[in-house]
Structure formats: structure tokens, C-alpha cells
Amino acid sequence: MVCSGMYAVLKILRLIGPHVKQRLEKSWSVLCMSSSSLLPACAGVTNLRCGKEVHAYALVIGVETDVYVRSALVDMYAKCGFIYEAKTLFCRMSERNTVTWNSMIFGYANHGYCTEAIELFNKMKTEGSMKLDYLTFVAVLTACCHAGMIELGKSLFRLMQEEHGIMPRLEHYACMVDLLGRAGNLTEAYDMIKAMPMEPDLFVWGALLGASRNYGILNLLR
């Protein structure tokens, strides 16, 4: 599946390249859209070589500075684990959108830079120009989970609802159950699952099961 996705991306690159170049003067938006659409495909299969080719292509055709293209580049480098490259691009951006911030926070959180993820979240919140969305909180809760910051995670979970009017989704509950479970607060994690307004999915149950195994309390799930 991964290989076929990778070959599909490379095939698209070969096919779309000459076509887009011929229409360079006619459609700037198409150029930006083609680049920003290909990059998530590269990130999805964590194919850095492919992503770098699209990056080079975006530079050549002059769309690398477009906010959507550069946001996709930040996301691609972050998902491939090249945090320095993602951060460099992020810092060079004169304009950022919510997707840009979320991608960088996720990149930090998923690769162990939890303090940096939380600091960037706080910066995003204080600047006030960007709207925090449900993914912003998934990203920062992921950082709290990996860093074991229980009280901060609980505080952000409440903040999301009370100040930003964002109702928790399955992703948020999975993060919270994982956060509580890793700290050994299995009863509290289980109580949260029972209080959920929707049916828990495999990720939510998986977080609790993983924690139960780690602490040898499997009878909780019987």
C-alpha cells in the first residue's frame, strides 16, 4: 500500500511537471495548488526524497513562498522527522495560517520536542491572529501526553471547551485517556471513557488497554 502510494506520487510528478510549466504564465493558483496537494501525499508515505523533489519544483516555478505551499512543506518535513528543516521554514514565513502552526506543533510533539510544542502553542494563543481549532488541541495534548504533563493536559482540555467552544472529539479523548493511563490514573481514565458522549473507538480503548498492561491491572477491562 505504501509503495503503491509512493509510486503514484512520483508518477504524478512526472506527468504534471511539463504540463504545469507550459501554463506558468496562465495560472498561478494552479501552480500553488499542485505543489501543496502533492506534498501531503509525500508526507503520508514519509517519502523525504519525493518531498524534496516537490520542494525543489516549487522553488523553480516560484510558488515556494505561498502560504499554503510552505505550510505543506512544514508539514511534510515535520512528518518525515526533519524538525530542523520544518522549523527553519516556519520561522522564515512572514504569513502563517492555522495549518502552519498545527503542523509545527504536531511535528514537535510527535518527535519528542514536547516543551517546544507547548511553547509554540502558547505563542500561537497569545498572538491572537490565528484561530485555534480542534487539531491545535490534539497536537498540544499529544505533547502533554508524551511529556507526562497531567495537570497541564487537564487544564488545556477544559480551556478548549470553556474558552474556545470546541467540543471534545474522539482524538481528544484518546489523548486524555493515554495521558491519564500513562500516569497510572486508570480509574480516572476509565471514568472519562464512561462519561464520553459518543462511543469510544479503538484508539480510546487501546490507550486504556496499553496502560492497563503496563501497570498489570487488566481486570479493569473485564
CB atoms within 10 A of CB 136: 23
Q: How far is CA 220 from the centre of its chain?
A: 31
| Residue of higher predicted confidence among 48 and 174 | 174
| Residue of higher predicted confidence among 15 and 127 | 127
Q: What is the pLDDT of residues 17-38, one digit of tens each?
A: 554 445 444 434 444 444 445 5
Q: How confident is the model at residue 221 (pLDDT cuts 50, 70, 90)?
A: low
Q: What is the pLDDT of residues 177-218, one digit of tens each?
A: 999 999 999 999 999 999 999 999 999 999 999 988 888 776
In our burial notation (b when 16+ CB lie closer than 10 A, e otherwise), range 43-56 reads bebebbebbbbbbe
pTM to 2 decimal places = 0.78
Task: Let me know: does 68 contact 74? Beta carbons within 8 Å.
Answer: no
Does pLDDT of 48 surpass 70? no
Does pLDDT of 87 surpass 50? yes
Residue 152 region by backbone torsions, left for phi larger than 0, else alpha for psi between -120 and 50, else beta:
alpha
What is the pLDDT averaged over residues 135-157? 97
Does pLDDT of 83 surpass 90? yes
